[in-house]
Structure 1
Amino acid sequence: MDYQNINLLHRALDATNLRQEVVSNNIANVNTPGFKAERVEFESVLRQTMDGSGLWKTHDRHFGIDDKNNVTGKVLRQEGNRVGENGNNVAIDTEMSELAANSIHYQALVNQTSAQYNMLRSVLR
């Protein structure tokens, strides 16, 4: 049994939870003047960590990611969207599709996590 897989699944679940909060906040602020939408990056950070192109820690006090078990979601301000007259760049259609995609992703991660725990339970019997 690979406990690293379970840990990674938990980190991915945390990132989808964070993404849900960020998208919900974007939707709640669709009419707020000057509000800038945010996005959560997790998969790209994980990919960089796994292929070795990310930042690596060479000392305990350095910033970086030393392995995939330390990857977390990062909230970034979204740039490039068309800004409305009030300075807001939230596109409600984009946010609703992000919300739906994130829900599907979350459910898939829950199913994978459940399968990992079921395998662990069967080994312990």
Structure 2
Amino acid sequence: MSLFGGTIQSLENSLQYASVKNQTIANNIANVDTPNYKAKSVQFNNVLNEELSKGFKTTRTDARHLDFSTESSAVRVTTNTGSTYNHNGNNVDVDKEMTDLAKNQIYYQALVDRINGKFSSLQSVIRGGN
């Protein structure tokens, strides 16, 4: 049983996803002129859900192992090798990356605001509603 329920853990997993996505987008933008560089993207929840839907059975034998019995996150970075936009073999679309970066920053800030709200509520309860 979790002290805070699943909400804090879900927000934490989502923040981790947003951080990895931000790093990946920044890496793509930094390599926009690198010959033969292929853009990377980040997948979240759908990776784990796909595996679990295939009848994926797990047994947790160590506290350091992932707990698949609760809602967990799976963040995976993949490379898009199916296209080339530039003459040098690079497939980074800087306009798309900048748009994704702006969306991700808004998403991240919304998560931070939500987790701050959760902690403020807990703090209020601990202080007796004052």
TM-score, length-normalised on structure 2? 0.78
Q: Distance in 2 between matches of 1:55 and 1:123?
A: 42
Q: Which residue number in structure 1 is paired with residue 53 of structure 2?
A: 53
Structure 2 unpaired stretches of 5+:
none
- Which deviations, in whole Å up to 9, do the C-alpha atoms of 1:25-51 show, x marking residues without a partner? 0000000001010011114347x38xx
Match of 1:91 among 90, 93, 105: 93
Question: Equivalents in 2 of 1:92, 1:115: separation in Å?
Answer: 34
8 Å CA contact 1:57–1:65 kept in 2: the answer is no
Identity of aligned pairs, percent? Answer: 36
Relative to 1, partners in 2 of residues 1:36 and 1:116: Cα closer, same or farther, differing over 3 Å?
Answer: same
SS state at 1:35 partner = coil
Number of positions where the alignment pairs a residue of Structure 1 with one of Structure 2: 120
> Larger Cα Rg: Structure 1 or Structure 2?
2
How far, CA to CA, are the matches of 2:8 and 2:22 in structure 1?
21
User: What's the C-alpha RMSD, in Å, of the aligned pairs?
Assistant: 2.5
Equivalent-residue separation in structure 1 for 2:84 and 2:66 (angstroms): 33
- Retained in 2: the 8 A contact 1:65–1:71? no
Map 1:60-71; keep pairs closer than 5 Å. 60=60, 66=68, 67-68=70-71, 70-71=72-73
**For residue 118 of structure 2, what is the aligned residue in structure 1?**
116
Q: Once the 2 structures are TM-superposed, how far is the Cα of residue 79 of structure 1 from its aligned partner?
A: 4.2
Per residue, is there more helix in 1 or in 2? 1
Match of 1:100 among 99, 102, 115: 102
Equivalence for 2:17: 15
Structure 1 stretches lacking a partner, 5+ long? none
- Normalised by the size of structure 1, how large is the TM-score? 0.81
